[in-house]
Structure 1
Amino acid sequence: MKNWFKRGLFALVLFVIVALIGAAVFLLTFDPNAYKNKVEQLVYERYQRHLKIDGDIELSLFPRIGLSVEQVSLSQRQSEEPFAAMQSARLAVAVWPLLWNRLVVDHVAVNGVRVWLERDQQGEFNFIDLLQKNSPTPTSQANVNLAPIANAQAQNASLIPDANQAEFQIDIAGLDLQEGEIHFFDQSSQTQMRLVNLELNTGRMTFGQPFDVIFKGALQGDKPSADAKLQGQAVVSLEPHLKRYAAQRIHLSLVGQVGAYEARSATLRGGLELLSLTEDLRARQLEILSQGRWQDDETTLNKVQLQLNAAQLNLKRNLSIVDAQKLQLRLNGLLPVTEGQAEHKVELALDAPRLNIQPEQVQGEPISLSFKQQQGTTMFGVNGRVSELKGPLSELELGRVQLDVARKTNEAAWKMDASATARWEQETTRLSWQDVVANLNVDREGLDPNPANAKLTAQGDWLWAEKKGQLKGLWQSANTQAHFDSTLEHKENWQLGVAIDAQGIDLNPWLPSAERTAARRNPAEVKNSQPARMLPDYVQWDEMDMQLKLSADRFRYQQVELEQLQLQAEQKERVVQLKTLQAKVFDGAVSGSAKWLHESAQAELALQLKDIDLAPYTQLLTKQRWLAGKGDAQLKLSTQGRSALARRAALTGTMQLKAKNGHVVGWDMWQHVRDANEAVRNVFGGQIVLPVQQYTAGSSTPFKSLDYQLQFNQGQGQVQKLQWQAEGFKLSAEPHSYVDAVNQQMDWGLRIDLQKRQLPADHAELAVYAEHPLFIRLSGPWSAPFYRLQWQRLAHPVVQQAIDSGLLELLRTKRGSVIGLETETVPAPPANNPKTLGNTLKDLLQNK
C-alpha cells in the first residue's frame, strides 16, 4: 500500500513538473499574433465584416489567462466603413472554471471605444446581425437546394427562446470603459448625434443576473444641434439566450442644449425592457421630468416644465403595436412679453387611461387633450375628447369626438362646441367625420342682438397621405342660411377653396356698432389694452392660396344691401384679387374688381354703378344723405397703407357721378338766396335774418342734370368738374375746389348763375341777381360743411349799396363775426404735401 501511494505521489509530482515545463515552453514559444489572420477570416465568414487587429496581442497563462490587445476595428456588414473600433483592451480569465463551461473574468478595461450606429430607411439597425444566432454557412455543396430544410426548420422552431440553450456562462467581475464614443445616424430623418467622453463602470456582470451600471458623457449633435452633459445609472440584466435586455431603476439626467430646447434639468426614471426577438420595447413606471427653455426661429417658450408619466408603455417596431396604461402628459411655459405686461401662460395636457393599438383590434378608454393660453384677461383654449375606440386599425371607429374652442378678450368672448362621429381607414389614411354639429356663440359689446349665435351642420374627411380634405354643410344664423363646400390641400403651399350658395347672408349681427361700443367701453381701457397673440393669430392666412365663389340672393354688410350677388375672389402669392363682382344694389346694378397686395399694402378698386338710388350711395360715402334721385357712378381708386389714416393719405384716382332729375339734399339754394335778399332789403331797418349756413336734412334743391368728377392725388381731391343744371340757374365749381381725405375736410367755391328768363314764378323777385353771378363757399367737415355767401364778390348794385350802408357790420353784430367775409375770394389750392396728424405731432415735438 505504501509503495502504491509513493508511486502515485511521484507520478503526480512528475506530471506537475512536466506541466509546468510544458507551460513554460508554451509561453516562451507561443505567439498569438500569428493567429490574427485566422481570427479575422473567421469573423468575416460568420458576419461578413472586416476585423482588423493592427496592434500586438499579448497573452499570459499564469496565474490566470491574461489578454491585452490594441488598435482593433470592425467594419460595417459587407462594407469597409467602420462600425466599431477601440484603442486597447485588457482582461484576465480564470482557468479552472473553463473546465465547467464557465468564463470567469476578473476585470475588463477598455479604452477609446468608438461605435457608429445607423438606422436605415426601413428602420433596421446596423448591429442586428450581430445579435442573431446564425448557422455556419456551408462552403461546399453549392448546388444543393437548402430551402425545403430551412422552411421545415422555421415551421418547427418555437418563437419563444429556450433557456436551456444557454450552454456557456460568462461572469465578469467588472467593466471599466474610458474615452468612449457612440455615433448615431438615422437615414430617414437625417438625425446625427454622438455621445463622446463616455465613461462606464459596472458591477459584477453575469448573464441572467442584474448588475449595476454607472455612466456619464457629453451629448453632441449636428442635426439637431446638441451640446449637453449626460449621466445616469441603472440595474441592468442581460439574457442573450432569451433575447432579453432589461434596465431597472433607471435614473438618467441631462443638462444642456438639444436642438431648440435648452434643458436646465431633465430626468428619466423607470424601467425598460427590450425583447429583440419579438422587437418589443416595454417601459414600466416611466417618468420624464424637465425644466428649461425652448427657442427656434418662430417660437420662444420660457420656464418650460414638462412631465410625462406612464404606468405601462409597450411599443412594437415602427409603432405597429402600442399599449399604454395611465399615460399622462403635462407641459406649460411662458411666452415672451414686453415689459409691464402680464405673464403669457401656455398649458398642454394629454390623458389616456388605457390605449391598446394593434392591427387586428384597437381598444381604449376616453382620451382627452387640452390646450390653453392666457395673458391677463385674454384667453384661448381648446378641449378635445374621443369617447371610444373600437374595431381594427384598418377601419377604426372613434365614436363621438367632441371639440370645444373658446377665446376671450377685453372686447369680446366667443366659444364653439362641436361634435361628430369619426372613422379612420388605415389603407387610404383617411379620417372621415359624419354628423358634424357645431354651435358658435359670440358675446361682444355693440352686437345686436348680443350674443350672436350660429349653427353649423356638416360632413367631411381628411386624407393624411395626400394632405387634402373637404368639408361641406350648412351655416345658419340670424338672417343667414348658406350652403358651403370647402376644400383644403397642400401642394407647394396650403390651398383653400370655398364655394357658398346662400339664400341670404347678413353680416351685421356679427359686426359691433361703433356707437354702442364707445358708450359702454372705458376710454382708459381702450388706451391701455394691447392685444395678446393667441394660437389662431399664428396662422399665416396671407401665405395661403385661397379661392372663393359666392352666390347669394341677398347679402347685407352694414348699410349695403346686395341682391343676386355673384362674386369670385382669390388670394395667390400674397395678392388678393376680387376678380368678379356683379349684383343689384341701391335699386340699380354694380360691377367691379379690386386688388390688395399684402407685401406693399397696396389696394386698387374699380366700381361701376348703373341707375342707382343716390341717397343711400352718398350717405355711405360721407355719412350724410347728399343726393336724391337716380344716377350712375364710377370709382377708380388706389391707395397704400396699413392703417385707415395712411390709406386716406395715399388715396389716388377718380370718382365720377352723373345724375338726372334729382335733388341735392341738405341745402335749399333758393331759400339761401332769398334770405340773403331779405338781409339786403332790411339793412336800413337794422333787423336782418341770417341765411341758414349748415346742412339741414329737410332742405333740398332740385336739378335736371348733375355731372361731377373728383380727381384724388395723395389724399387730396381736386374737383375737375361740377355742372349743375336746374330750372332757373346753373351751378359750377370754381378752380382749386378740393376735398381733403386725410382730415375729412372740404373747401369748394361755387358759382351760381341765375337765368332770368327761366326763373320760376315764385322766385321772380330774385331777377335782380341774374345780372351777375353769385358766389358761395362750401367748406368745413365734409359730413356737415358751412354754406357762406361771398358778399364782397357780389357785383350787384343793390348788394354794394347795402354793404355801403353797413350790411357787414350788422352781420358781425348778429353772429359776432363777419359771415362770408374771407380774406381770399376763392378756395385756396391744397398743399402739395398736405400736413397729416403725424407731421403735426412731429412739428410740435421739435418745437419743444
Structure 2
Amino acid sequence: MKALGKILGLFFLGLLLIIVALLFALTHLFDPNDYKDEIRQIAHDKANLDLQLKGDIGWSLFPWLGLELTDATLASADTPDKPFADLRLIGLSVRVMPLLRKEVQMSDIRIDGLNLNLQRDDKGHGNWEGVGRPTETTMAQQSPGEPAPSEDTPAEQPGEKTAGQPLKLDIDSLSLSNSRIDYSDAQKGQQFTLENIELKTGAIREGASIPLKLSAFFGTNQPVLRARSEVEGQLRFDRALKRYQLEDLKLAGEVSGEPLKGKTLNFSAQGQLLVDLAANIAEWNSLKLSANQLRALGELKARELDKDAKLSGGLSIAPLNLREFLDGIGVELPKTRDANSLNQFVLVSRLNGSSNGMMLEDLTLKLDGSTFTGSLGVADFARQALRADLKGDTLNLDGYLPPETKDKAAAARQAEVKDSISSAGKDGSTPLPNAPTQQAWSDDKVLPVDQLRKLDLQLALSLGQLTFDQQPFTDVTLKANGRGGLITLQDVRGKLQGGSFSGNGRIDVRQAEPMLSVEKRLSRMPVEPFLKKDGQPAPIRGLLDLDAKFNTRGNSQKAWVEALNGTASFVLNDGVLVDANLEQQLCRGIATLNRKAMSNPPTGKDTPFRELKGSLSVRNGVAHNPDMKAQIPGLAVSGKGDLDLRVLGIDYQVGITIEGDQREMPDPACQVNERYVGIEWPLRCRGPLELGAKACRLDQDGLGKIAARLAGNKLTEKLEEKLGDKVSPELKDALKGLFNR
C-alpha cells in the first residue's frame, strides 16, 4: 500500500508538472500576435467590424486569464475607411476557476486613450451603423438546415440569461482615463464633444456600494457652450430586480458660452438617486441645488419611464436677488423705474409635468413684498404654451415699468403747456390761449410683436391691490387668452377710491400692423388721479360714468392715438372746475353790460357743478362732442366742440344761461334783471387740456350780439309804454321782432 501510495503521489506530481509545463508553453511559446489576421477575420464575419490591431497583444492564462490590447482601431465593415473608435490601451484579467462556477472575478480593468468619433453624414447614415450583425458572406455560408436569424427572432443580448443562474460580477476596480467622445451630425450641423473623461471606481460587486468618481468636459456648437462637471457617489445595483441606486450623489461644475453671454454659471447638486426599471420609476430625493447665488431644496419623481415619463415633486428656492442672479447668467433685464425691483424672490411649489411641459402648482411666490399663490408654468414647450392662475395680495407695477424718458417732442410740448399756463392768468382776463401744436405721445415701439405671434397664453390673475401710475386699484381681476397672434382680454375689473371699472379688449398681431380694440365701462370713477400730471393740479374733479368702445392700430402711443376711432358716452357727477370761477367771469360780463364796477367780487376759486354729461365721436384721434350739458349752481351750461387727443388740446364753444349772483349779499353790478332771463352767455375754450376751465374766455363777438339784443329789448319796452293799448297785439309782435333781430 505504501508503494501504491508513493506511486500515485509521483503520478499526480508528474501530472501537475506536465500541466504547469503546458501552461508555460502556452503562455511563452504560443504568441497570440501570430493570429491577428484570424482575429480580424472573426470580427469581420461575426460582428461586421473592421478591427485593426497595430500594437501587441499581451495575455496570461492561469490563475488569471488576462488580456492586454494596445493601439487598436474599430470601424464598421461597411465603411472601413471611417473608424469610429481608437484605443491606446485596454487591460483586464479574469480568475479561471470562478468562471467554472459562473462567477466573474476580475482584477482592475484599465482603459486608456479611448476615442469615439461618431459621425452622421448628410444622408443621415452613421459611421457606426452595421456593427454587430454578421456579414452577408457569413449568412450565405450557413448550413442549409440551420435557420437564419430573422427580424422576428430576437438576437441574444450580451449578458442575457440563457440557462441556470446569472453570472456574478466581482471586479476589483474600473478606470477610464484620457478618453474622448465626439459626435457630429452633417444634416443638422451639430457637434457634441465629451473630452478628458476620467472614471475611477472601487470594487464592483452586485448588491454592494461601489464608490465612483467621474469628470469630463462637455462642448457643443449650437449654441456654442462649454461645461465642466464632476460626479461622485456610491453606486448600488441589482440586475435581477433591475434596480439601480446612486447614493450620496455630489455633482459640481461650471458652464459658459453663448447663452450666458460671456458669464459663467457655477452649479452643484446633491441627493439620493434611484432608478427602478421593473417599476418604471426614478427618484431624486433629498435634492440640494445651487447655481451661483441660487439655493434650492426639493425632490423629483418620474414614473412611466417606458412611455412619456411623468414628473412630479417639490421645489423650494431660498431668498434670492433675482436681478443679480439673472445678470450673472447673461440675462439682460430692461431698466426699471425702481432700481431695487426683483431684488427679493422666494418660491415654494409642487412640480407636475412631462417631457412636453412643466407646471408649478400649489405655488407660493414672493416678489419684492408681493405674495402670489396659485399655478404657473409651460403646458407645452414646443408651442410656448404659458399657463398662469395667480392670486396676489399687492403689486406695485410702477416699479417694473421702463424709466420715464422725455424726447425732444415731449420737451417741446411741456414747454408749450407751461407757456399757456403762465399766460392764462388767474381771472380769465387774458387773451384766449392758442391751440396746442406739439405732439403729446411717444413714438417708441410698445408691443413685442414677434413674441406675441408665437404666444399661447391662458392667464387668470386677481390682486387685492394694484398700484399703477401711482394709483391704488383694488380687487383687480384679469382673464386673458392668446394664441396664433390674437390676444383676448376677456374680463378686466377693479375699483379705485370708491369707483369701479370693467372692460374687455383684443390685440391682433396676425397681420403686419397690429390692431387693437377695447370696450370699457367706468362707474363713479374719480378723474382727478388721472388728470394730475407733472406736479400740476388736476383741472377738474368729479366721479365719472363712462361707456366707451374704441379701436386703433399701430405699435406706439403716437400711432394708437392718431388712428383712434370709436364712440363714448359720459356723465361726470359732483364735479369741480379747479382754480377757475366761471361765476366771476360771467359776473364781470354782466357788470360790463350794466356799465357798473364790481364792488363785492366772488371769493371762491373753483366752480362746482352737479352733473356734466355728453357723448363723444372719435375719428382719427379727434373726439367731437356735440351735446355737452352741465348743471352748475346759478348756471345752466351747454356746449359743443372738439378734443384733439393727438396734442391734448380743446376747442369748445360753451353757452351759459345764468341766474345771477346768488350770494346773500349779491354784487349790485352783476344782479340779473328780467332782461337777462333766458339769455345764453357765450364762452370759448381753447388751449392745452391741462388748463381746464382756465382755457375759457367770454366770447367778445357773442357778447356784442347779446348787448345788441338787450338794446333792442329795451327799445321794445319803451314802445310798449308809449303805445299802451292803442295798437293791436299783432303790431306789437312785429315791432318786437324788428328790434330783436
**Alignment TM class, shorter chain as reference:** 0.5 to 0.7
1:382 to 373, 379, 386: 373
> Residues 488 and 494 of structure 1 are in contact (CA less than 8 Å); yes or no, is this contact kept in structure 2?
no
Question: Helix, strand or coil: the match of 2:646?
Answer: strand
Change in CA separation of 1:173 and 1:306 when aligned onto 2, cut-off 3 Å? same
The residue correspondences of 1:636-675 to structure 2 (distance < 5 A) are 636=644, 638-639=646-647, 656-657=651-652, 662=656
Shift of residue 256, structure 1, vs aligned partner: 2.4
**What residue is the counterpart of 2:430 in the other structure?**
none
**What residue is the counterpart of 2:296 in the other structure?**
306
CA distance in 1, matches of 2:235, 2:512: 49
> Residues 251 and 269 of structure 2 are in contact (CA less than 8 Å); yes or no, is this contact kept in structure 1?
yes
Does residue 568 (structure 1) correspond to residue 557 (structure 2)? The answer is: no
Change in CA separation of 1:85 and 1:487 when aligned onto 2, cut-off 3 Å? farther
> Residues 394 and 465 of structure 2 are in contact (CA less than 8 Å); yes or no, is this contact kept in structure 1?
no
**What residue is the counterpart of 2:305 in the other structure?**
316
**What residue is the counterpart of 1:776 in the other structure?**
none
> Residues 704 and 726 of structure 1 are in contact (CA less than 8 Å); yes or no, is this contact kept in structure 2?
no
CA distance in 1, matches of 2:61, 2:180: 34
Q: Residue by residue, what CA displacement relative to the aligned partner does 1:139-195 show, whole Å, maximum 9, x if unpaired?
A: 5799999999976x79xx9xxx86956655554322222222345789999997644
> Residues 363 and 372 of structure 2 are in contact (CA less than 8 Å); yes or no, is this contact kept in structure 1?
no
> Residues 442 and 452 of structure 1 are in contact (CA less than 8 Å); yes or no, is this contact kept in structure 2?
yes
> Residues 626 and 664 of structure 1 are in contact (CA less than 8 Å); yes or no, is this contact kept in structure 2?
yes
CA distance in 2, matches of 1:707, 1:512: 24
Does residue 67 (structure 1) correspond to residue 58 (structure 2)? The answer is: no
CA distance in 1, matches of 2:502, 2:316: 41
Q: Residue by residue, what CA displacement relative to the aligned partner does 1:680-718 show, whole Å, maximum 9, x if unpaired?
A: xxxxxxxxxxx99xxx9xxx99977969696889x9xxx
Change in CA separation of 1:11 and 1:313 when aligned onto 2, cut-off 3 Å? closer
Shift of residue 39, structure 1, vs aligned partner: 4.5
CA distance in 2, matches of 1:446, 1:593: 27
**What residue is the counterpart of 2:247 in the other structure?**
249
Q: Residue by residue, what CA displacement relative to the aligned partner does 1:781-809 show, whole Å, maximum 9, x if unpaired?
A: xxxxxxxxxxxxxxxxxxxxxxxxxxxxx
Task: Letter of the 2:394 partner, please give it.
Answer: R
Does residue 26 (structure 1) correspond to residue 30 (structure 2)? The answer is: yes
> Residues 234 and 247 of structure 1 are in contact (CA less than 8 Å); yes or no, is this contact kept in structure 2?
no
Does residue 37 (structure 1) correspond to residue 79 (structure 2)? The answer is: no
> Residues 119 and 183 of structure 2 are in contact (CA less than 8 Å); yes or no, is this contact kept in structure 1?
yes
Task: Letter of the 2:109 partner, please give it.
Answer: V
Question: Helix, strand or coil: the match of 2:29?
Answer: helix
> Residues 178 and 198 of structure 1 are in contact (CA less than 8 Å); yes or no, is this contact kept in structure 2?
yes
**What residue is the counterpart of 1:373 in the other structure?**
367
Does residue 581 (structure 1) correspond to residue 575 (structure 2)? The answer is: no
> Residues 52 and 73 of structure 1 are in contact (CA less than 8 Å); yes or no, is this contact kept in structure 2?
yes
Change in CA separation of 1:316 and 1:704 when aligned onto 2, cut-off 3 Å? same
The residue correspondences of 1:357-756 to structure 2 (distance < 5 A) are 368-374=362-368, 378-384=369-375, 403-409=390-396, 441-442=464-465, 505-509=521-525, 511=526, 514=529, 561=545, 565-570=548-553, 575-576=559-560, 579-584=564-569, 589-594=615-620, 605-610=621-626, 612-613=627-628, 630-636=638-644, 638-639=646-647, 656-657=651-652, 662=656, 724-726=700-702, 729=704
> Residues 59 and 67 of structure 2 are in contact (CA less than 8 Å); yes or no, is this contact kept in structure 1?
yes
Task: Letter of the 1:381 partner, please give it.
Answer: F
CA distance in 2, matches of 1:483, 1:701: 45
Question: Helix, strand or coil: the match of 1:216?
Answer: strand
**What residue is the counterpart of 2:322 in the other structure?**
335
> Residues 75 and 128 of structure 2 are in contact (CA less than 8 Å); yes or no, is this contact kept in structure 1?
no
Does residue 266 (structure 1) correspond to residue 268 (structure 2)? The answer is: yes
Q: Residue by residue, what CA displacement relative to the aligned partner does 1:10-47 show, whole Å, maximum 9, x if unpaired?
A: 566456546644654322x85243235325414644xx
> Residues 108 and 174 of structure 1 are in contact (CA less than 8 Å); yes or no, is this contact kept in structure 2?
yes
CA distance in 1, matches of 2:685, 2:473: 44
CA RMSD, Structure 1 to Structure 2 (Å): 6.8
Shift of residue 402, structure 1, vs aligned partner: 8.1
> Residues 723 and 730 of structure 1 are in contact (CA less than 8 Å); yes or no, is this contact kept in structure 2?
no
**What residue is the counterpart of 1:215 in the other structure?**
214
Shift of residue 79, structure 1, vs aligned partner: 10
Q: TM-score, normalised by structure 2?
A: 0.55
**What residue is the counterpart of 1:416 in the other structure?**
none
Task: Letter of the 2:173 partner, please give it.
Answer: G
> Residues 704 and 725 of structure 1 are in contact (CA less than 8 Å); yes or no, is this contact kept in structure 2?
no
Task: Letter of the 1:316 partner, please give it.
Answer: L
> Residues 614 and 627 of structure 1 are in contact (CA less than 8 Å); yes or no, is this contact kept in structure 2?
no
> Residues 192 and 224 of structure 1 are in contact (CA less than 8 Å); yes or no, is this contact kept in structure 2?
no
> Residues 181 and 195 of structure 1 are in contact (CA less than 8 Å); yes or no, is this contact kept in structure 2?
yes
> Residues 702 and 726 of structure 1 are in contact (CA less than 8 Å); yes or no, is this contact kept in structure 2?
no
CA distance in 2, matches of 1:513, 1:569: 26
> Residues 32 and 59 of structure 1 are in contact (CA less than 8 Å); yes or no, is this contact kept in structure 2?
no
Q: Residue by residue, what CA displacement relative to the aligned partner does 1:91-140 show, whole Å, maximum 9, x if unpaired?
A: 34445555555554332222222446899xxxxx999999999xx99557
RCO higher in structure (CA 8 A, sep ≥6): 2
> Residues 248 and 271 of structure 1 are in contact (CA less than 8 Å); yes or no, is this contact kept in structure 2?
yes
Question: Helix, strand or coil: the match of 1:591?
Answer: strand
> Residues 364 and 371 of structure 2 are in contact (CA less than 8 Å); yes or no, is this contact kept in structure 1?
no
List runs of 5+ in structure 1 lacking aligned partners.
Answer: 120-124, 293-302, 359-365, 387-400, 413-429, 519-525, 527-556, 595-604, 620-624, 640-647, 676-690, 732-752, 765-848
**What residue is the counterpart of 1:769 in the other structure?**
none
**What residue is the counterpart of 2:233 in the other structure?**
234
> Residues 446 and 513 of structure 1 are in contact (CA less than 8 Å); yes or no, is this contact kept in structure 2?
no
Task: Letter of the 2:567 partner, please give it.
Answer: Q
Change in CA separation of 1:348 and 1:494 when aligned onto 2, cut-off 3 Å? farther
List runs of 5+ in structure 2 lacking aligned partners.
Answer: 121-125, 325-336, 378-387, 400-455, 536-540, 571-611, 719-741
> Residues 396 and 467 of structure 2 are in contact (CA less than 8 Å); yes or no, is this contact kept in structure 1?
no
Change in CA separation of 1:94 and 1:74 when aligned onto 2, cut-off 3 Å? farther
Q: Residue by residue, what CA displacement relative to the aligned partner does 1:558-614 show, whole Å, maximum 9, x if unpaired?
A: 566556x553345657743554323456666531234xxxxxxxxxx312232x236
Task: Letter of the 1:567 partner, please give it.
Answer: F
**What residue is the counterpart of 2:438 in the other structure?**
none
**What residue is the counterpart of 1:829 in the other structure?**
none
Question: Helix, strand or coil: the match of 2:560?
Answer: strand
Task: Letter of the 1:307 partner, please give it.
Answer: L
The residue correspondences of 1:278-289 to structure 2 (distance < 5 A) are 280-283=280-283, 285-289=285-289
Change in CA separation of 1:453 and 1:583 when aligned onto 2, cut-off 3 Å? same
Task: Letter of the 1:38 partner, please give it.
Answer: Q
CA distance in 1, matches of 2:714, 2:148: 118
> Residues 50 and 80 of structure 2 are in contact (CA less than 8 Å); yes or no, is this contact kept in structure 1?
no
CA distance in 2, matches of 1:263, 1:608: 59
CA distance in 2, matches of 1:626, 1:145: 118
CA distance in 1, matches of 2:463, 2:183: 50
* Identity of matched residues, %: 12
**What residue is the counterpart of 1:86 in the other structure?**
87
**What residue is the counterpart of 1:792 in the other structure?**
none
> Residues 91 and 110 of structure 2 are in contact (CA less than 8 Å); yes or no, is this contact kept in structure 1?
yes
Between structures 1 and 2, the one with greater strand share: 1
> Residues 245 and 273 of structure 2 are in contact (CA less than 8 Å); yes or no, is this contact kept in structure 1?
yes
Shift of residue 285, structure 1, vs aligned partner: 2.9
Change in CA separation of 1:150 and 1:340 when aligned onto 2, cut-off 3 Å? closer
Question: Helix, strand or coil: the match of 2:54?
Answer: coil
